[in-house]
Structure 1
Amino acid sequence: MTLKLCVAQLNFIVGDLEGNAQKIITAAQDAYADCARLLLTPELSICGYAAEDLYLRPAFIQACDDAVKKVAHALAGLKDMAVVVGHPTGGDSRTRSTAVQKRFNAASVLREGQVVATYAKRELPNYQVFDERRYFTPGDGVCVFEAGAEGQRLRVGLLICEDAWFEQPARLAKEAGAELLAVINASPFHVGKGYEREEMMCQRVQETGLPLVYAHLVGGQDEVVFEGHSFALNANGTLAGRAPSFKENSFVALVESTQGAIKIEATVEPVRTPEQDLWDALVLGVRDYVGKNGFPGALLGLSGGIDSALVLAIAVDALGADKVRAVMMPSPYTADISWLDAREMAQRMGVRYDEISIVPQFEAFKASLAADFAGRAEDTTEENIQARIRGTLLMALSNKFGSIVLTTGNKSEMATGYCTLYGDMAGGFAVIKDLAKTLVFKMAHWRNANDPYGTGASPIPERIITRPPSAELRPDQKDQDSLPPYEVLDAIVDRYMENDQSIETIIAAGFDRADVEKVTRLIKLNEYKRRQSPVGIRVTHRSFGKDWRYPITNYFRA
């Protein structure tokens, strides 16, 4: 017996029920024409992941139910074709005094116009970016369905994402007669996550002795990215196939059953480096945020520094040079080499480049405030005025031409507050918000050595990478005047913010007490800034965003 199955590794849009349904219909029809008799779509494919508080709206759940019926009706003529569609279902059951949640993260099996089975996700993640217990009730059932032509069907056990990270759901599926595990997923990317999934699914295969197909979502949704990377494992745990990452794909696998032994054959994409994955995640995150939200393009302030240079390179790879605009806004403290490097980078990338001096506006602000500031020395107040003038100019250009402003702050700056509220934080999308400064340097070197999208090799002038970082808001300013060396700062942020180590634990690991206390103090003091920052792309296992929910008013200091 041979079953040809297809994983529809597709890029869905949250709330576009009609468009998502049509994508599933088209994928099923194409797969059927290619002789596939089982199509797997990702978790919550009908509505996109994650729809957040849309799940709380009864009208939304009803519309999702209607969309599933539409898909079933459209595929009624595909004989022996089974299609798995992820969707929310259920509602609230109300009594006089309470409302009992009855919504489920579900998947339905469609065959010849009918919903032949529906499965509710058993394990609901409630950590990192996940908060599914806010919306859904855990299921308690098992779903094993038949796939293939009459007389030679395979029994498939259906699991949804987190279910497969626990032993029991897979075991129950096997006990119910499953010969193959099908896992549909929408699991946000962070560096290394794709291969972690492969390792975890190997455990499920080894425990059950069943082969497994893992169907994963692709695309950007606000601050999270899904990388695809669907795959299949044989019953002995070996990799049978792997789909491309960060692109839509119809991942086809042949499942052959001979005398009770099942073998899967599929194409295998090569192992990718972390830098490849990270770059593609950033590019896809920008492309989908800009495209799905209807912006005609993007603009950013190009300072001649490494952060804005990296963001420009990402934006051009994501959108094309014709949709990206760079604006240099020199102040009295901008070094000549910053002008030269910014011009050279814009020329290398082929983008529109403009220079708007902020000197007149800066002098006007100082004149307006002179009486009130009389007798007081210049300090960060004047530095912030410069940053806020730039933010105002960029937002004015955005308002006039419709392009979104991409901010250029990195994770090290977001952690310590080395950024200006309503200044360089002003904008619509924070591209490198989750990249520590040391990783910014690493990715700049990587992009100069690689040209993954054919937009030009070595886009970042070497001097931008090698010169000491500076905000250039006062004479001879360097980042390291105010902060510990970035290698030290980023290591402390990683331990304290990403991995919840205590101050004393970090000091015991060999870090200087003064550095640790300074960095952790800055992290706490600047929560109010981060709350007002734009959303940005999550690429680590803990970002400043949905992963990080700390009180602004907070006296805890350990």
Structure 2
Amino acid sequence: GGNGFLASESIDILSEDIHSDLLIIPTALPVYAPPVPDNTYLDTLLHLHSARSCPVLFAAASWWESTTDRVASGMTAIIADGKCRALNQGLVDPDNSLPPSGEPPGPDPNTEAAYTSTATTVLSFSEKPQATKAKTRGESNPIAVGIAEAVGKTSFDPNDPDTCALLNPLPFLPPLTAQSTYAESELNYARRVLRLQALGLARRLLHTGIRHAVIGISGGLDSTLALLAVCAAFRTARLPATNIHCVAMPGFGSSSRTAGNAVRLISSLGLSLDTIDIRPACRQHFHDIGQDPNTHDTTFENVQARERTQILMDLANRLGGLVVGTGDLSELALGWCTYNGDHMSMYAVNSGVSKTLARMMLRAFSHALTNGTNTANALDFAPSDATELSAVLRDIVATPISPELLPLDDAGEIKQSTEAVLGPYELTDFFLYNFLTVGPTREQMLDAAICLFASSPEGSDDSRDPRLAHLRLSPEQIEHYLNGFYRRLINNQFKRSCLPDGVAITPLNLSPRRGWRIPSDAAPNAWLS
């Protein structure tokens, strides 16, 4: 089960010189959406085929398996005569159309069989793929994306461009390619991630028999992406879009820009929006617990977050629906959520999506809709107004990220900036990826981050990845944000120890059941020292 057949010991056993006429591998292999596509599974099957000199039949469970934490791949393959004779990537491949609307939802053998494509091209197996070093720091290496590949176990000179060229500053995104193809690369990846999110939620809806979803819409990045996933899930589960219940809950820090974008977003998708002003209920709660409403502390903020969650949960009870969570992987890592507030839901579609990936996905969808890409191909569903959806997605991406829990400034603008506290998400996601994959020392992480993110002196050429050109960071700022990353990541494990179910997008996830985890009472000093 799982992906155990890929483990080296399993390969050794299956590769032993034992005569067999046919090798059959049934598995519950999960599917992920790595930023860099690879043929790991096919390479493994070809290796086994070569070692055993017999045909290999591979069959992974379909998406109808449990989606508590991940989606099963549904991949099937036949390897014979040195070739991949038949390959079916299943519904998790966005290039495979969803069943026609007349088909029943769920695991239908005839429906699944319709998506089998014959592969006649010989797929070669390379025992050790060779990483090719990028020529400049702007050309991300698709193989050596981790710090370990560049620095090993020792420190390195952050001023050495040859060493820095091995590092990928945006490891949750597709590697940088020629401008003409990068937009296509982003869209393809965004489509695959959205398909995984949709399949995870659709499976939960079909399993429970729940036909309604309730989601809070702020007009911000995360709730927007979550709503797109809900729309795609309802298309997958053959449920009417009228059963998607969107709720705007303005509070003390809600801005006219995000409120307006929420309305535009819902309209462009052909949905309806209910608005519930949480301020009266919060004022009553302040009075009940003795909180001074003019004291804008953590209590002031968390009261609003928990009031919103209470509204969504109670609405779901009344409607017989499911509350869809909107929090993302980056926020979960840093604990940037209210315990038992936005931290909690009934299924979290964004829990495997980093903030940089969420931005990229909305940008890719907006670009595709602007350039006339078939909307059903881009989103797995057809919005009511593709042009308006493209425009509002573009503005949502451009809006400063904020929980909007503190009052606006005198001009009515947002004054609570998430990235001013945590650091740019490009930087924190870089920390997160490398922490979860190779676990470099603090010094290695700092050196690598300075190498990639520190802005060039005035008047000199900026040799950084062009996607980082908007960042102006000093080494001192980078170190400050790194120390904060370690403290927040470790100190907030208690929030991740009780997370709702949600599909993993990559093997790097924070689920307390299958992902990276530590004791809730661990101390960050071990990582900082």
Correspondence 1:447 to 2:352: no
Q: CA deviation at 1:312?
A: 0.5
Map 1:121-160; keep pairs closer than 5 Å. Answer: 125=4
Aligned to 2:447: 508
Partner residue in 2 for 1:21: none
- The residue correspondences of 1:53-202 to structure 2 (distance < 5 A) are 125=4, 161-162=5-6, 166-172=10-16, 175-176=18-19, 178-192=20-34, 195-202=39-46
Alignment length (residue pairs): 386
Taking the aligned partners of 1:333 and 1:348, their CA distance within structure 2 comes to: 25
How far is the alpha carbon of 1:502 from its aligned partner?
2.9
**Is the 8 Å Cα contact of residues 305 and 469 (structure 1) preserved in structure 2?**
yes
**Counterpart in the other structure of 1:486:** 425
- Match status 1:419 vs 2:337: yes
Q: Residues 195 and 232 of structure 2 are in contact (CA less than 8 Å); yes or no, is this contact kept in structure 1?
A: no
> Which residue pairs with 2:254 in the alignment?
334
Q: Is the 8 A contact 1:496 1:503 kept in 2?
A: no
Over residues 262-320 of structure 1, what are the superposed CA-to-partner deviations in whole Å (9 max), with x where a residue is unaligned?
A: xxx96249999433322211110010012212222211100010110110011011114
SS in 2 for 1:451: helix
* CA deviations over 1:346-404 (Å, ceiling 9, x no partner): 1122223100001111221223344x659x84212201111111111111101111111
Q: Which has the higher strand share?
A: 1
- Secondary structure of the residue aligned to 2:245 is strand
Q: Secondary structure at the match of 1:552?
A: coil
Q: Distance in 2 between matches of 1:542 and 1:364?
A: 42
Cα deviation for residue 194 of structure 1 reads 7.3
2:245 touches 2:272 (CA, 8 Å); kept in 1?
A: yes
Give runs of aligned pairs for residues 460-539 of structure 1, distance below 5 A: 461=392, 462-474=394-406, 475=408, 476-511=415-450, 512-539=478-505
Distance in 1 (alpha carbons) for counterparts of 2:86 and 2:356: 34
2:516 aligns to what? 548
| Cα distance between partner residues in 1 of 2:216 and 2:203 | 21
What is the match of residue 404 of structure 1? 322
Q: In the TM superposition, what are the counterparts of 1:12-91 in structure 2 within 5 Å?
A: none
| Change in 2 beyond 3 A, CA 1:167/1:333 | closer
Matched residue, 1:206: 50
Match of 1:277 in 2: 192
CA positional deviation for 1:184: 1.2
Return the letter of the residue paired with 1:234. Answer: A
Higher-Rg structure is 1
Matched letter for residue 29 of structure 2: S
Task: Give 5+ residue unaligned stretches, structure 2.
Answer: 93-106, 124-184, 236-240, 369-374, 409-414, 451-477
Q: Percent identity?
A: 23
Provide the residue aligned with 1:299 in structure 2.
214
Distance, in Å, in 2 between the alignment partners of 1:485 and 1:501 is 20
Match of 1:243 in 2: 88
Distance 1:162 1:497 in 2: 20
The correspondence for 2:288, drawn from 349, 352, 368, is: 368
- Pair 1:278–1:522, CA change in 2 (3 A): same
- Alignment partners' CA distance in 1, 2:113 and 2:343: 44
User: Following the alignment from structure 1 to structure 2, what is the Cα–Cα distance between the partners of residues 464 and 269?
Assistant: 44
Q: TM-score, normalised by structure 2?
A: 0.67
What residue is the counterpart of 1:129 in the other structure?
none
Residues 226-285 of structure 1, C-alpha deviations (whole Å, 9 max, x = no match): 12122222332x3222114226656779xxxxxxxxxxx962499994333222111100
| Matching residue within 221, 227, 231 for 2:73 | 227
Measured at CA, do residues 182 and 519 of structure 1 come closer, stay the same or move farther in structure 2, by a change above 3 Å? same
Deviations 1:486-508 (A, max 9, x none): 10010001111344333232123
Cα distance in structure 1, aligned partners of 2:189 and 2:46: 21
With 484-493 and 188-197 compared, the bigger mean Cα shift is at 188-197
What is the CA distance between 1:451 and its match in structure 2?
A: 3.0
| CA shift in 2, pair 1:507/1:356, >3 Å | same
Aligned mates of 1:304, 1:454 — CA distance in 2: 20
Instruction: State the match for 2:118 in structure 1.
Output: 267
CA distance in structure 2 between the aligned counterparts of 1:424 and 1:252, rounded to whole angstroms: 40
Do the aligned partners of residues 194 and 287 (structure 1) sit closer, same or farther apart at CA in structure 2, a change above 3 Å counting? farther
The whole-number CA distance in structure 2 between the counterparts of 1:164 and 1:217 is 22
With 317-326 and 380-389 compared, the bigger mean Cα shift is at 317-326
TM-score under structure 1 length normalisation: 0.64
**2:516 corresponds to which letter in structure 1?**
W
Q: Residue 407 and residue 384 in structure 1: after superposition, are their counterparts in 2 closer, same or farther (change >3 A)?
A: same
Which residue number in structure 1 is paired with residue 355 of structure 2? 437
CA–CA distance in structure 1, aligned partners of residues 319 and 117 of structure 2: 47
Going from structure 1 to structure 2, the CA distance change for 1:407 and 1:170 (only over 3 Å counts) comes to same
Say if 1:239 and 1:269 are closer, same or farther in 2 by CA, change over 3 A: closer
Range with greater deviation from structure 2 (212-221 or 270-279): 270-279
C-alpha separation in 2, matches of 1:537 and 1:216 = 17
The amino acid of 2:517's aligned partner reads R
- Deviations 1:86-145 (CA, angstroms, capped at 9, x unpaired): xxxxxxxxxxxxxxxxxxxxxxxxxxxxxxxxxxxxxx94xxxxxxxxxxxxxxxxxxxx
Gaps of 5+ in 1: 1-42, 44-48, 50-123, 126-160, 254-264
Query: Over aligned residue pairs, what C-alpha RMSD do you find?
Result: 2.8
